[in-house]
Each structure stands twice: as structure tokens, then as C-alpha cells.
Amino acid sequence: MGEQSANSEQRLSRAAAHRLSLYLRCVASWPADGGKVSSGRIAAAVGVSDAQVRRDLAALGHLGQRGIGYEAKELATAIRAALGINRTWRAVLIGVGNLARALLRYQGFRTQGFEIVGLFDTDPGKVGQVVEHLTVESSAKLGERAVELGAELGVLTVPGEVAQGVADVLATAGVRGILNFAPIVLRLPPTVRLVTVDLAIQLEQLAFLVQHGDNAKATDD
Amino acid sequence: MGEQSANSEQRLSRAAAHRLSLYLRCVASWPADGGKVSSGRIAAAVGVSDAQVRRDLAALGHLGQRGIGYEAKELATAIRAALGINRTWRAVLIGVGNLARALLRYQGFRTQGFEIVGLFDTDPGKVGQVVEHLTVESSAKLGERAVELGAELGVLTVPGEVAQGVADVLATAGVRGILNFAPIVLRLPPTVRLVTVDLAIQLEQLAFLVQHGDNAKATDD
């Protein structure tokens, strides 16, 4: 965790970005007392050190005042800008199963600036269905429709064996980032960023932590 | 990534454990040529350096031979032991919505040694329903039933506002690890380990990576 960039938010590591996400969640959920929040309160809620919070937030620019704390609204705005969620991201979702339905109903997506603008599935029985106000389209049209819809991100909730093919179509269509729930390691061109949410791996991490108890380094990033 | 423990798998960091999970996925999915796999092949598939793979696997004991590679079956067994998934973990799941149904149908859980032994929900309309061969029980009975079922892990797919209460009940019932999908930071006693899968944060990480392009450090742990 040695990243203390002076003023360059571009240098944020993913670990730091992850902590900023957690800070934002706290700040956004608290009723701000007179509009101020302290680094100590954020640190206690997230489970990192006060110094770590102050270092992370210092990297965003001149925000807080010693002994006074941070202006909650200003802090939230600065974190959103650093993370790149001070705008709306248009995303397509491929594979309309239970996980997709759970994601579509998840309030967090829209409030954090992510808008699902298209749903795709290979199953003819699902194509044409309306799910959460969107009509499921055929995956055969994914490439051209992703371009038409101006999709920047893709969410993959397809089985592992078809995920690479879908990812290739998205990459060709100009999608810049993929959130992958399929349990495989995707190969993508360097222009396309990838975040994988592998549920079995998460459970394995939990088993690892439980098994090794206090000997495991339990940092959550 | 400075963790190169000599022989102490207890010293594995979470980052190393995460890489081991990825290696295991590769090894388990490949048809082994004559039973051997090379560190280079694993490295290419997972996207880390050859040296990193060899270092991580060296920490598991004497497994490979220079120029010959690793015995695939032996390697998988060693990784499973290091991660703590060379046994079955009994888990209860609380909150039977779309996400829960997706998890229950997800093959990866059972094959990796995780068995869901109980389902719980507060909704009287869901209690008594059979979902994937399990009858949904009332959350009011969670504490006593978790003990009876011998649950070691809990999977939380409940709304954020009730997650802490459910986690407290699980902790009191002796559950040792919680996989939390609720978008809040849970407070748990030190005896209970926590892995949080926060979907909005994953999407924020993706936005961050796309926004910052090549300037972001893109390591996936």
C-alpha cells in the first residue's frame, strides 16, 4: 500500500480506488452533521487506519482541514471524479438469467451512474421478453447493437464456455470495459479493461481466511 | 507482492491466495498432457509472470521439477489444501431472491467443496418453498438452525439494512466466515472472517480502470 501520489489521481492503485469506493459508500450513507465528516469516522467504519484515509484523500487535492474534517458533499464529489463515476456509463448485459435479474434490480448500479441500455441472450424463448423495462434482444445482433446503443461497458452473465466469444464481439464493437461473472480468465486486447467477479474464488478466499485464522493477512483489498 | 514464504502456507497473503485460486482453475480445466503442466503455461493463462507462478507454487512445498513442470493432479491437490478447500464447508444462505437462486444454481460452489445446507428468508410467502432441493425456512429460526445444521459459513444475499442483524445472529451461532453481498461494511467479531462482494464497487473499479486507461495499475488483486 505504498502509493501516496502527490496530486496525480491517475496514479491511484486499484487498492486505493477500492478504498475510495468504500469511503464514498460511508460518506454517501451518513447524514452529515453540519456537512462535515472526519477521517477518523471514515477509518473506523471502513476498518483502515486514520492515516491511510488521510493519505488517500490528500491524493485527491486540498479537501479537508486539520481538526475540522471534510465537507461531506465536496468529498463525495471529489471521490466520484477520481473514480470516474461523475458521469453516466452506458452498459449492455449479456446472459439474462437469475444473476442478470438480480443485477438489474440492484439499486446501486443506477445510483452510481451505471445504466444498462441493452439486454442480450441466445435463448429464443427469452428474446422479446421485457425484463426491468428492457426488451431482451438476440445475441446474434450484439455487435451492431452495442455500437448503436453507444455501449461503453459490458456485463457478462453468460456460462463460461461462451464468455470469450461474447467478450470478443464486445471488444470489436468498441466496448472499453467488461465486468465478467463467468468463471473463466478472459483474454482481451489491452484497450479493454476487465474486472472479474468470480464467485467460487470469493468463497475460496473465505475458506482460506477461516482455515488460516489469524495467520492470514486479512486486508480486504 | 513481496510474500515469498519459505514453507509456511499460513503466511500466504490474500493476493497470493487469489492467484492460487486462478492457477487451480486453469489446472483443473486443462486436459493434462501426460499429467504435466508448466509454470509458463499457467502464467500465460492467468496473466502473471512465470517467476510469480513459480514463487507462489514453491511456497506450497516441493512440487515441480525444473524443465519438467508440475504433476497436474498433485498440484491441484496441494493448492486445494493450501486454500482450505480439500474438505466440504457447510454454509447457510440468507435472503432467497434472484441472486440467491443464481448462486444455488452455480455449479462452481459444490464442485469447489461448498455445500449450502439451509435457506432462510423473512418473507412468509417464501418460507416453505422448495428451491434447488432445499426448503426455505424462517429467518426467525436462523440462530438455532445454523447450530443444528453445523453451518460454518454464511452467505448473505439480504438487503443492506438488515445485513448487520443477520450477521450478528450468525456470529452468535458460531459461524466462522461470511460471504456478504449486501452493499454495506459489516462489523464482526474477530473470530468471524468476512469476504464482501460489492457489485457496485466492482463496477466502480471497472469505470476507474477505463477512465484512467494505461495510467491505472491494472493488477487484478
Which residues of chain B lie closer than 8 angstroms to A177, CB-CB?
Answer: 206-207, 209-210
> How is residue B104 written as a grid cell?
444455488
Report how far apart, in Å, the C-alpha atoms of B216 and of each of A11, A55, B95, B208, B219 are. 6, 18, 36, 8, 9
Mean pLDDT for chain A? 84
Q: Which domains does chain A have, with CATH numbers?
A: 9-83 (1.10.10.10), 89-201 (3.40.50.720)
A130 conformational bin, left if phi > 0, alpha if psi -120 to 50, beta if neither: beta
Which residues of chain A lie closer than 8 angstroms to B10, CB-CB?
Answer: 212, 215-216
Task: Tell if the CB–CB gap between B102 and A105 is shorter than 8 Å.
Answer: no
Can you state the angle between helices A160-172 and A142-149, rounded to 10 degrees? 50
User: What is the rounded distance in angstroms from the CA atom of residue B28 to the CA atom of residue A57?
Assistant: 42
User: What is the rounded distance in angstroms from the CA atom of residue B59 to the CA atom of residue B36?
Assistant: 19
pLDDT digits (tens, 9 = 90+) for B6-41: 334 445 777 888 889 888 888 877 766 667 888 888
Question: Of the candidates B83, B196, B203, which has its C-beta nearest A109's C-beta?
Answer: B203
* pLDDT value of position B107: 67
Q: How far is A158 from chain B (nearest CA, A)?
A: 11
B214 touches A193 (CB < 8 A): no
Backbone angles phi, psi at B140, to 5 degrees: -60, -25
Q: How far is B48 from chain A (nearest CA, A)?
A: 12
pLDDT digits (tens, 9 = 90+) for B167-195: 999 999 999 999 999 888 898 999 999 99
ipTM of the prediction: 0.79
Residues (pLDDT < 70) of chain A are: 1-11, 31-34, 65-67, 107-108, 213-221
The residue of B206, B220, B221 whose CB has the most chain A CBs within 10 angstroms, and thus the best one to mutate to test that interface, is: B206
Question: Of the candidates B47, B195, B219, which has its C-beta nearest A206's C-beta?
Answer: B195
Backbone angles phi, psi at A136, to 5 degrees: -70, 130
Instruction: Count Cβ neighbours within 10 Å for each residue of B25-56 and write b for 16 or more, e otherwise.
Output: bbbbeeebeeeebbbebbbebbebeeebbbbb
Quick one: which of B151, B179, B147 has its CA closest to A200? B179
User: What pTM was estimated for this model as a whole?
Assistant: 0.76
Task: Tell if the CB–CB gap between A206 and B179 is shorter than 8 Å.
Answer: yes
Task: Tell if the CB–CB gap between B108 and A26 is shorter than 8 Å.
Answer: no
Question: Of the candidates A176, A184, A210, which has its C-beta nearest B176's C-beta?
Answer: A210
User: What is the rounded distance in angstroms from the CA atom of residue A192 to the CA atom of residue A178?
Assistant: 7
Quick one: which of B25, B112, B2, B23 has its CA closest to B69? B23
Measure CA B48 to chain center. Answer: 20
Q: How far is A198 from chain B (nearest CA, A)?
A: 10
> Amino acid identity of A169?
V
The alpha carbon dihedral of B16, A9, A154, A136 has a sign of: positive
* pLDDT value of position A218: 43
> Amino acid identity of B66?
R
The alpha carbon dihedral of B194, A112, A116, A192 has a sign of: negative
* pLDDT value of position B215: 53
Question: Of the candidates A97, A106, A203, which has its C-beta nearest B179's C-beta?
Answer: A203
For chain A, the C-alpha Rg in angstroms (whole number) is 20
Which residues of chain B lie closer than 8 angstroms to A29, CB-CB?
Answer: 184
Task: Tell if the CB–CB gap between A153 and B14 is shorter than 8 Å.
Answer: no
B13 touches B36 (CB < 8 A): no
A216 touches B29 (CB < 8 A): no
Question: Of the candidates B10, B12, B99, which has its C-beta nearest A102's C-beta?
Answer: B99
Residues (pLDDT < 70) of chain B are: 1-11, 31-34, 65-67, 107-108, 213-221
Q: How far is A67 from chain B (nearest CA, A)?
A: 25
Which residues of chain A lie closer than 8 angstroms to B45, CB-CB?
Answer: 185
